[in-house]
Structure 1
């Protein structure tokens, strides 16, 4: 039996060596038993190397043998023969997002029919005793027929040890020993359990695939001055659309005209709307609140943010966690063992004791029922799927249960500086003016900023843009005109503003002049020691230059950087900064955030540092980054986490992504992982506890068949509801 996905090493680091998996949507799989039947049947087909079925996701993921092609028609016919249905993408979306009342489903109708027949049988038993047991036999047969059919289909596919087979043997055996009333009750309770499993699985699927409804079906396409409605799925990069207030954005794009507040909560869970204007990016599925926007499409519908999120979640559901693979392997050997024990319980007691054969067979049949591993098998995938769904709704994308499980084990997290711990763009931190004697005066800042911004207007250099943005933020006034502006190669810019000859240059330019050290020089040195870039404003006279003031800039930490690091510390995870930036700047940011920091590292140096920590037993290690230079370290770490604003290379290499670009999201991922694994352990304990208790009571003859089925059904529903409880998980407390 093959039901596992490739390991991280194979899947992430050598994708070229692996055949591309195929994912099929399958309707009707509602429990772990369904998964095992499908996996066992499909694994027997030619050219199929690996199979992984997910009842929660409603999908089957197949990988062909190297150099072979999957037999698609044979795969579909096999799935159909097992009683399930292969459906296309559009049908899957409709099924997953449309609520169907339980009484309209096939399993719901079977429950109603079986229930009515069982109630009628009991009524006839008291009203017309002469009929005997035939009403119970009829109720049993009607409810048992579909169960026997599914057991027979699985048997034809070479899988005799299924839950349906155990149920069929138990019910038919009960009829044979004249326990007809119990047989009817058992069949009815089994139908109820299957129906409840279906309801729970459908709820989990809806909670995940509702993402597909975020993107509107139509878009207002702008062409040659005209606007017409088109299908959002038809949009291509380069086209332009109009988005009115209250509309959802139909695409990923770039704002060409207009400004508005954008509600990004549907995509990344961020509760506070973000201001967006010309030149800024927007995402499909977000809501335009208060302004008309003209947006240029940057990604096709199949590759926009929503589509990528859905794809990541779907792939994550197919990638089973190690604990889930263990449970699957356990169930594979558990079922034959249970049948063997049941045979011993049926045969041995009458041979070695006065126990009647009817009594020993009855206990053996009850043992088969209580031993059904439904609750145990569903306990893990249901919790993992719920955890992945909660993460996706809050902008925390994890590529599989294995990643979700590993996140909670992290002991150390290495973070990049630029774009991860910091915003990725410089901002003005200090503005100071110089007195005639060279001393520093912290007043008259507005004039320094006004003159510097005037010189830099029109420049696209990051420092120039930062100074210009700072001026517009501080002062509500137009910039003065600059005349004769030109670059001073390697040093800065020169121009005339308000009739004054000015230059904005680096401190290195001042070293050209042979002058005594002043308080201004000391201040510049102090600012540079803090990792800041300093620009000095100078007024040039006929034969000399007079410094007027300085502006210091630095790529500052994100607003939540310190909060995120403290949250990691509370979780017992050490944060370390690894950066390619100069050591002085990295040390200054590290000191400000209170973490260990190391700078001037090449991409291979970061990956080497991660491997060194792993060799020293300091792992598992997590790596967080947003750029191409982070890709080697992201791949080397046990868990690589990409910032959502990062490059496509980083997002593809990483195991998880933070759509919100919030540092605290790392701690949220780890906390969610630990909560999910606690849920899994609780579920496994509940399932095994119920089994152990009722297995003993059944063998001893304390509990009968209907109690056994009730216990099994109850345990299944209990662990499923406990897993779905994760859907209401809150990130308020990360301790």
Structure 2
């Protein structure tokens, strides 16, 4: 096995929009001495490689990337593989170099057509078309020249440059300007699609807290950078805080909102021995958590890594076009060359005529429409999905969806509203209105979804909560408060049973409601159960219609 020499270095790379950009960088850097294990991630806009500085300096690597037309900045000096980093915020498309190029060439094209249609000056319109073509092709030609110097001669930029220059030579300046403009539009669309994907990665990274409360062995607590946490360390997670690392609860009991990671809308009650995930939100009680995974390997970091891998996987059609272009572009250039030289040499044809025809072949053979069609269609599909609340991770997923025959649903928040509502109120030792007034009073200060649902039901019924004092949460069990000198508890049936206030009939009724998929809470005092309240995340109004539409398309649902 070849021994890897040197250190691993990483850079932030800007201007990459698709897998072919990464492939060009990989190919060019692979030709440098002392460079190995090149990894380029388009979505994270990051490049890392193993480098032997005795053979190639980091500055030479940066110069090679810049020659290809990409921006590059040193991310660190000697980096090992770390947690996937969120890509930086990006400017609006119209403020990028490619966006400004599209706007400028588009305005010049519009001006040239206006002059041409007005009949004012044919020369002026030709000059304007020529200006649009030249201005548009300059950055493309620079990238083609950089790729050529990097050992990648046959690129779409090279063919676009030859075709545009050829069109100007044969006098087809309008066609040259239009071809360059359409190519620039295609690049902007690719950039928009990549930008949307990177925005999704940034949203994932934002789930992670930046700081954590690390607990020393002597019990002191100090705020530290969450990325520095190591397995075995203990952290304190206050109510309402995000959990800073994957870990295991050592003390405390609380409801944990796992929706940022799993999408599940209902908090899960967790206590000592239970695992918790980085980025989830602690509920109503403090937790002590022992870290089990470093920041580079926590749940959010692994999700980001999987998203980046998914984004890097190009759609099958894109991969086919990429393979096709490897042979198509050299074939078109060779065919044009043969058209230019063979007829004059072998048949005595006119050199000017056949050179003109060869340049026309180059112009016609430019795969501009083919190059634009895939990113444009993918961008359109991503936009349409986003408007409908769908996060689609790249073109490969879009093409796979077209072949899907079954749809599996996670009901919570998809087929349901994503929030619990009161479905049943069972009065036992108090009238229904009084039961709701008591329950709303106990739960009034709680932020738990079940508590909010009970308060909302009382408000909807026009019921005013009774005055309450000394309210406190019972982590993982419920809440209690003093009302009219009675200690009232709103809690789980098991708590009421432990307190000895739930008789057989009430237990049977609670079991019946739970069998129907509902969550049951018991309102009770020191002596008896006052009543039951059942809650459930109800189906969305349009869920049945959506499932029917899928069945009508021949799709199965699970």
Match of residue 101 from structure 1: 92
Find 1:86's aligned residue among 51, 69, 72: 72
Counterpart check, 1:249 vs 2:243: yes
1:376-402 deviation digits (Å, cap 9, x = unpaired):
99799999x99xxxxxx99xx9xxx9x
- Map 1:257-296 to 2 at 5 A: 257-296=251-290
> C-alpha displacement at 1:23, in angstroms?
6.3
> C-alpha displacement at 1:279, in angstroms?
2.6
- Map 1:11-22 to 2 at 5 A: none
Match of residue 46 from structure 1: 33
1:327-374 deviation digits (Å, cap 9, x = unpaired):
655443332123223434556789699995476245313333226863
Relative contact order (alpha carbons < 8 A, sep ≥ 6): 1 or 2 greater? 1
Match of residue 140 from structure 1: 133
- Map 1:636-651 to 2 at 5 A: none
1:95-147 deviation digits (Å, cap 9, x = unpaired):
73635211111111111222222223333443741643222222222222111
Q: CA 1:222 to 1:57, structure 2 compared with 1: closer, same or farther past 3 Å? A: closer
* Aligned mates of 1:196, 1:285 — CA distance in 2: 32
Q: CA 1:218 to 1:323, structure 2 compared with 1: closer, same or farther past 3 Å? A: same
Q: CA 1:330 to 1:120, structure 2 compared with 1: closer, same or farther past 3 Å? A: closer
Task: Give structure 1 stretches of 5+ with no counterpart.
Answer: 1-13, 387-392, 409-471, 479-731
Q: CA 1:288 to 1:69, structure 2 compared with 1: closer, same or farther past 3 Å? A: farther
| Contact 1:51–1:63 (Cα < 8 Å) also in 2 | yes
> C-alpha displacement at 1:57, in angstroms?
5.1
Match of residue 196 from structure 1: 189
| Contact 1:163–1:372 (Cα < 8 Å) also in 2 | no
Counterpart check, 1:172 vs 2:165: yes
Counterpart check, 1:111 vs 2:102: yes
Counterpart check, 1:365 vs 2:362: yes
Match of residue 498 from structure 2: 476
TM norm structure 2? 0.57
- Map 1:482-561 to 2 at 5 A: none
Match of residue 75 from structure 1: 61
| Contact 1:252–1:284 (Cα < 8 Å) also in 2 | yes
Q: CA 1:232 to 1:98, structure 2 compared with 1: closer, same or farther past 3 Å? A: same
* Structure 1 stretch displaced more, 260-269 or 282-291: 260-269
1:61-100 deviation digits (Å, cap 9, x = unpaired):
65689xx98864432221122121234569x989736352
Q: CA 1:330 to 1:362, structure 2 compared with 1: closer, same or farther past 3 Å? A: closer
| Contact 1:21–1:63 (Cα < 8 Å) also in 2 | yes
* Aligned mates of 1:733, 1:270 — CA distance in 2: 23
* Aligned mates of 2:103, 2:11 — CA distance in 1: 31
* Aligned mates of 2:30, 2:111 — CA distance in 1: 44
Task: Give structure 2 stretches of 5+ with no counterpart.
Answer: 77-82, 384-389, 404-493, 501-554
* Aligned mates of 1:45, 1:372 — CA distance in 2: 34
> C-alpha displacement at 1:32, in angstroms?
4.4
Match of residue 630 from structure 1: none
Q: CA 1:376 to 1:25, structure 2 compared with 1: closer, same or farther past 3 Å? A: farther
| Contact 1:57–1:317 (Cα < 8 Å) also in 2 | no
Find 2:207's aligned residue among 211, 214, 218: 214
What is the SS of the residue equivalent to 1:290? Answer: coil
> C-alpha displacement at 1:276, in angstroms?
0.7
What is the SS of the residue equivalent to 2:290? Answer: strand
- Map 1:704-715 to 2 at 5 A: none
| Contact 1:33–1:163 (Cα < 8 Å) also in 2 | no
Q: Once superposed, what is the RMSD of the aligned Cα atoms?
A: 5.0
| Contact 2:239–2:282 (Cα < 8 Å) also in 1 | yes
> C-alpha displacement at 1:274, in angstroms?
1.8
Match of residue 152 from structure 1: 145
Number of residues paired by the alignment?
391
* Aligned mates of 2:2, 2:255 — CA distance in 1: 40
* Aligned mates of 2:120, 2:240 — CA distance in 1: 67
Q: CA 1:93 to 1:280, structure 2 compared with 1: closer, same or farther past 3 Å? A: closer
> C-alpha displacement at 1:232, in angstroms?
1.9
| Contact 1:209–1:310 (Cα < 8 Å) also in 2 | no
| Contact 2:115–2:122 (Cα < 8 Å) also in 1 | no
Q: CA 1:345 to 1:23, structure 2 compared with 1: closer, same or farther past 3 Å? A: farther
* Aligned mates of 1:49, 1:372 — CA distance in 2: 36
* Aligned mates of 2:86, 2:298 — CA distance in 1: 23
What is the SS of the residue equivalent to 1:96? Answer: coil
Match of residue 441 from structure 2: none
> C-alpha displacement at 1:48, in angstroms?
4.0
Q: CA 1:75 to 1:373, structure 2 compared with 1: closer, same or farther past 3 Å? A: farther
| Contact 2:189–2:375 (Cα < 8 Å) also in 1 | no
Match of residue 37 from structure 1: 24
1:302-324 deviation digits (Å, cap 9, x = unpaired):
33222233345546666889998
* Aligned mates of 1:171, 1:283 — CA distance in 2: 55
| Contact 1:255–1:281 (Cα < 8 Å) also in 2 | yes
What is the SS of the residue equivalent to 1:178? Answer: coil
> C-alpha displacement at 1:474, in angstroms?
11
Counterpart check, 1:26 vs 2:13: yes
> C-alpha displacement at 1:241, in angstroms?
3.2
Q: CA 1:74 to 1:380, structure 2 compared with 1: closer, same or farther past 3 Å? A: farther
